[in-house]
A and B are shown apart, each in its own frame.
Chain A
């Protein structure tokens, strides 16, 4: 679903840009927001993780041993001395915003670092998306690229 967002007094459009399944950026307030509860988290130019809660999870709690740990060292569960799960929660609603599998003590990475000014320029004329566009299964028919590619070559797609 797309809507055209309103312009505010300064002529800036109050557009929210979807970034992940759980996060979006409000271009006017320049804030990361939780998509589950709409809460603003932290400035859009910051590492969004700084606006979240973190929990250091023993991976065996999620990937439980399937083989008897009294009989075997390897059980289908990750080794907690090699791997931990960092779970990132929205502080307002408890949604799981991100997970990160890391060796113990490995500093979390800054996985998303956007140029906010470029983002504003890019969305100046784009209609806002409240939800991502519906996904379809990609199918190739007959050839790599199929008919869409053929149209691209003949110029019929433009």
Chain B
């Protein structure tokens, strides 16, 4: 055995390893730690004595105003479509990189992901002689593997120094969209490796002496389809940070650095204490739920997100074991940092919306993952369309947390069924009517229906599940910039809510076409065409499933010119009546890799509804009549689902008749229902159906997980998941066609030989 090393030798060894590091890949010590850091020396000194709470609150007010101002600057100046609808934020962090506060109307998830790259910069670039962290520097970042939601989001992070000491960090983040990926718009469903994802910026310095370094900006512009957008929004983020910095400097001048440091740290420590108190209020126990995505965006498959939340004392454990294994050649993986950020975003929308927005909320939380699962994806998996599991992540905790919270003496918000949880929008790309290359996505992503709530129905088309204030933008503005034409937009239609005692909000229809472009196309990256996306709460029903509908081989503008009255702007009528002669009508899963379209061809989809809340038979008949009046449901639904008796013309409810219908339905339920123990004997199967491409555990048992490898089902030990590898869907299709040809040839040969005889 070697002699023990002396401290000097150890220091030399550490220095050598540090200086000869081959590659600064994402650091698990940073990426797997969601908790706030221990107090720094100065924080310890400042917070161990008495703290002037009123001064803290005063400074918080000033910082909030400053964050609001800098966020508004992005909204007013940003070029990215995302910036116009609210997909952005500014934030302020402690010197160690913990998120302390965000802009009042910012997207919290963005700031709750940026602490990871700031901690990376602190740890690796501060003492790196070729980089360093100095006054006037700014760092850029977009790769979710170093912290983030997905690679469309670009951040500017800036250190603030006072008396030559780092006192805090500030940041500005925008969902940019286009990032030079294999498909336009920044969210390539077709990415089969991380190298198809476009720009992959680990945190690096792009600003010195408060100026953008033009050589690096040019490199980034040269790497994306929209160089104008890249430059403009880098400037916007920089100047938003500079304004925020000015305001923070004012605070430093007026109150001194100790007051600022105290405020930033006290804010997050108070939140940790408050969260511990809230957890102690909850009953001890475990609540389980799951959510299914029905597509890898390249083929249909049933992928499970499995969740068990355990409360014990002042601790919450989120156990995600049993979820689908990762997919090596599909883009829908997410790393655990992204997963936690999005779980947190949904938590702040649905569970504790009254808490200050800081990731410190999760400090009392523990997480358990399987290695190589879809929400704990390894470094090499493509993650460009992580939104598929991540949107589900934002809503999945609504169900178990409603069960923990329902009986509390005091509620922090109403109980709410999951919001719709898929990015149901068109992503577009091509040459605009102004002759410019572009690629991005439509704002419909922000128009999802809310779930039913304990005190009232869900709101229609209200917001994305990560930020209640985001908007869906102006179609007219979009049509000025892009060749897109909306024949139908924001139309609410019948029988597409989640039914329940409190119904969900609905998602609206989108009917798209284009003109005036020589090259234009679309993709969609969305699951939920076979298995409903939004799960219900307390005995309600889910959202329906949604197809992508196309009308091809026609130009709708010619039809509109000739017979405008023959073209209804309604998906159901267009598809069922097929009014445009000679056109091809088809439905598809809402997952489509990029395809070029011809001018006047029509692509139609629907934003989704949330889950319904409670027993349909408990819905107030007057509300059912209101739904009819608002054309949200059909008479069939009012009668068959809600069991209301009424006059179809006057819509006057027959109270006695309704009571009778409902009593009869309750009786019918008791007649057809089978006692649970007897039911599971015939219902439960030891394995998923043979024909179902199933990914995840089967039942509650997380020790075995199913997956698919090159078209074959594999059963894995939950503790040792293997990455799944999928066949090329075109190869699968070719093989099927070849088999068909071979079978036909056999038949023909038999017929010929028969004839010869």
A residues neighboring B (CB under 8 Å):
2, 17-22, 24, 47, 49-56, 59, 62-64, 66-68, 71-79, 81-83, 85-89, 91, 93-99, 101, 103-115, 118-119, 122, 126-127, 129, 132-138, 140, 142-146, 148-150, 152-155
Is B641 in contact with A138, judged by CB distance below 8 angstroms?
no
Number of B residues contacting the other chain (C-beta, 8 Å)? 115
Chain B residues whose CB sits within 8 angstroms of the CB of A153 once the complex forms: 53, 56-57, 60, 266-267, 270
Distance in angstroms between the alpha carbons of A103 and B294 in the assembled complex: 11
Is B353 in contact with A138, judged by CB distance below 8 angstroms?
yes
Chain B residues whose CB sits within 8 angstroms of the CB of A75 once the complex forms: 547, 587
Chain B residues whose CB sits within 8 angstroms of the CB of A96 once the complex forms: 539, 615-617, 669
Binary A-proximity of B13-52 (CB < 8 A = 1, otherwise 0): 0000000000000000000000000000000000000000
B residues neighboring A (CB under 8 Å):
53-54, 56-57, 60-61, 64, 68, 101-102, 104, 108, 266-267, 270, 274, 283-290, 292, 294, 302, 312, 353-357, 399-400, 402-403, 406-415, 453-455, 494-496, 499, 501, 529-532, 535-542, 544-547, 549, 572, 575-576, 578, 585-589, 613-618, 636, 641, 665-670, 672-677, 679-680, 683-685, 687-689, 691-692, 694, 698-700
A78 with B676, Cβ < 8 A, contacts A89-B669, A101-B542 known:
no
Which secondary structure dominates where chain A touches chain B? Answer: loop
Say which residue of B54, B104, B572, B614 sits within 8 Å of A154 (CB atoms).
Answer: B54
Is B698 in contact with A106, judged by CB distance below 8 angstroms?
yes
Is A101 in contact with B101, judged by CB distance below 8 angstroms?
no
Chain B residues whose CB sits within 8 angstroms of the CB of A118 once the complex forms: 283-285
Is A95 in contact with B666, judged by CB distance below 8 angstroms?
yes
A109 with B538, Cβ < 8 A, contacts A55-B674, A81-B692, A103-B694 known:
no
- What is the minimal beta-carbon distance from B167 to any residue of chain A, in angstroms? 20
Q: Which residue of A lies closest to B606 (CB)?
A: A76
Is B585 in contact with A71, judged by CB distance below 8 angstroms?
yes
Say which residue of A47, A76, A150 sits within 8 Å of B544 (CB atoms).
Answer: A76
- 6 inter-chain pairs at a CB distance below 8 angstroms, sorted by A residue, are A21-B501, A86-B683, A89-B669, A101-B532, A114-B284, A144-B357
Is B532 in contact with A83, judged by CB distance below 8 angstroms?
yes
Is B641 in contact with A62, judged by CB distance below 8 angstroms?
yes
Is A67 in contact with B532, judged by CB distance below 8 angstroms?
no
A144 with B356, Cβ < 8 A, contacts A101-B531, A106-B688, A150-B60 known:
yes
Is A138 in contact with B354, judged by CB distance below 8 angstroms?
yes
Distance in angstroms between the alpha carbons of A132 and B405 in the assembled complex: 10
- What is the minimal beta-carbon distance from A55 to any residue of chain B, in angstroms? 5
Is A85 in contact with B541, judged by CB distance below 8 angstroms?
yes
Is B689 in contact with A78, judged by CB distance below 8 angstroms?
no
Chain A residues whose CB sits within 8 angstroms of the CB of B688 once the complex forms: 103, 105-106
Q: Which residue of A lies closest to B53 (CB)?
A: A154
A142 with B104, Cβ < 8 A, contacts A135-B454, A153-B56 known:
yes
A49 with B615, Cβ < 8 A, contacts A2-B409, A94-B667 known:
no
Say which residue of B286, B617, B670, B692 sits within 8 Å of A82 (CB atoms).
Answer: B692
